[in-house]
């Protein structure tokens, strides 16, 4: 698998927040990927946004006060 | 012992050795089935067990097995027996995934776009990859520049998954020059691939 490096994921309370966040990140040109919430975090059919740790502060700044973020977690690989 | 019915099932693939053996057993008390592979041997043994028959297997040279089957007293030819081949899902034929739309499911397009991304991300991470993925109608939009799933598709392609993209569809949407992954295909290849699929998945 290509996913050898570690990633961070942003978890949201609802899919609509994830969509809103995705739109903002796209507009800002911040690389990210919408992925299913990893099974070990939740077995719900949810989506979250994955990004590389290096841009964490930029991502946080972009979403601050715009989207309700539940949690940002580090994904172990 | 009376006449033995010989079933020569060499060169035949599942489920034929089992089907032929079962037919022969319905008409004869004693059957000898000859097979040329382990899978057929196991399948015929399973059939004999299920019907309470006595069996005796002789292994011959070249991977040939002669299976001597004798009907038991309570042989019931109407007993249910599935002649399914392999275990679990189909093991023969291509594993094909068809993308008829650029979203997953119907009802809400915004949600469908989210789901298709999650679907492809998950397929790309799965151990059992599809053999072929076919894209037509708005599905072709997933394969062109600007698509959010290009990375996953490129990864799948690099791992040997064949990606067929409907040329008529690219043409209709006027995005043929933007194709970023897979090969432009036609209805002949698409129909042939779908027809020879052992499993066809449509998200």
- Domain range annotation of chain B: 5-70, 94-201
A2 within some domain: no
Q: Which of B46-55, B86-95, B163-172 has the highest mean pLDDT?
A: B163-172
Q: What is the 3-state secondary structure (H, E, C) of chain B?
A: CCCCEEEECCCCCCCHHHHHHHHHHHHCCEEEEEECCHHHHHHHHHHHHHCCCEEEEEECHHHCEEEEEECCCCCCCCCCCCCCCCCCCCCCCEEEEEECCCCCCCCCHHHHHHHHHHHHHHHHHCCCCCCEEEECHHHHHHHECCCCCHHHHHHHHHCCCEEEEEHHHHHHCCCHHHECCCEEECHHHHHHHHHCEEEEECC
Can you tell me which residue has the tokens 């397009």? B109
- Out of 3.40.50.10740, 3.40.630.30, 3.40.50.150, 3.30.110.40, select the CATH number for domain B5-70: 3.30.110.40
Per-residue confidence (pLDDT) for residue B38, from 0 to 100? 84
Q: Could you tell me the CATH number of the domain that includes residue A11?
A: 3.30.70
Q: Is B114 on the interface with A (CB under 8 A)?
A: yes
Q: Which residues contact A6 (CB under 8 A, 6 or more apart)?
A: A53, A74, A75, A76, A77
Give the count of domains, chain A: 1
Q: Confidence band (pLDDT; 50, 70, 90) for B89?
A: very low
In the DSSP assignment, the letter for residue A54 is: G
Q: Which residues contact B82 (CB under 8 A, 6 or more apart)?
A: none
Q: Do A35 and B111 touch (CB under 8 A)?
A: no
How far, in Å, CA of A30 to CA of B27, rounded? 73
Query: Strand, coil or helix: what is A4?
Result: coil
How far, in Å, CA of B56 to CA of B191, rounded? 45
Query: Strand, coil or helix: what is A45?
Result: coil
A1 within some domain: no
- The residue of chain A with its CA nearest to that of B149 is A33
Question: Which candidate, B143, B147, B128, B151, places its Cα nearest to that of B184?
Answer: B143
Q: Do B148 and A34 touch (CB under 8 A)?
A: yes
Instruction: Report the percent of chain B where pLDDT is more than 70.
Output: 93
ipTM over 0.85: no
| Count of H-run helices and E-run strands, chain A | 2, 4
Q: Confidence band (pLDDT; 50, 70, 90) for B97?
A: very high
Q: Which residues contact A1 (CB under 8 A, 6 or more apart)?
A: B125
- Do B94-201 and B5-70 have the same topology in CATH? no
**Tell me: the pLDDT tens digits for B164-193?**
999 999 999 999 999 999 999 999 889 989
CATH homologous superfamily of B94-201 equals DsrEFH-like (3.40.1260.10)
Q: Is B148 on the interface with A (CB under 8 A)?
A: yes
Q: Do A19 and B122 touch (CB under 8 A)?
A: no
Structural domain containing residue A42? 7-75
Q: Do B151 and A18 touch (CB under 8 A)?
A: no
Query: Strand, coil or helix: what is A51?
Result: strand
Q: Within 13 A of B51's CA, how many CA atoms are on the CB side?
A: 27
Q: CA-based Rg of chain A, rounded to a whole angstrom?
A: 12
CA dihedral B83, B87, B92, B94 (to 10 degrees): 130
Per-residue confidence (pLDDT) for residue B14, from 0 to 100? 75
* Cis check: omega of the bond before A18, within 30 degrees of 0: no
How far, in Å, CA of B87 to CA of B133, rounded? 24
Per-residue confidence (pLDDT) for residue B124, from 0 to 100? 94
């Amino acid at each position: 698998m290509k996913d050898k490096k570690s990633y961070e994921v942003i978890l949201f309370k609802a899919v609509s927040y994830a969509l809103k966040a995705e739109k903002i990140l796209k507009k800002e040109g911040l690389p990210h990927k919408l992925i299913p919430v990893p099974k070990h975090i939740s077995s719900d059919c949810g989506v979250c946004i994955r990004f590389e740790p290096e841009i964490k502060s930029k991502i946080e700044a972009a979403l601050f006060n715009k989207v309700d973020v539940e949690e940002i977690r580090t994904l172990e690989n | 012992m009376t006449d033995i019915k010989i079933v020569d099932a060499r060169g035949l693939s599942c489920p034929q050795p089992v089907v032929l053996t079962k037919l022969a057993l319905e008409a004869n008390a004693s059957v000898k089935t000859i097979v040329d592979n382990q899978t057929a041997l196991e399948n015929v043994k399973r059939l004999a067990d299920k019907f309470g028959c006595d069996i005796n297997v002789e292994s011959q040279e070249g991977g040939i097995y002669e299976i001597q089957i004798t009907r038991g007293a309570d042989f019931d030819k109407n007993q249910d027996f599935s002649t399914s081949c392999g275990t679990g899902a189909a093991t023969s034929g291509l594993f094909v995934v068809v993308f008829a739309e650029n979203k997953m499911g119907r009802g809400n397009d915004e949600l469908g776009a989210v789901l298709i991304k999650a679907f492809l991300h998950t397929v790309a991470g799965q151990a059992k990859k599809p053999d072929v993925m076919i894209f037509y109608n708005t599905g072709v939009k997933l394969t062109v520049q600007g698509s959010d799933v290009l990375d996953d598709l490129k990864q799948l392609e690099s791992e040997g998954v064949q990606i067929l993209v409907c040329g008529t569809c690219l043409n209709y949407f006027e995005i043929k020059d933007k194709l970023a992954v897979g090969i432009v295909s036609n209805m002949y290849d698409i129909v042939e691939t779908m027809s020879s699929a052992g499993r066809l998945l449509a998200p």
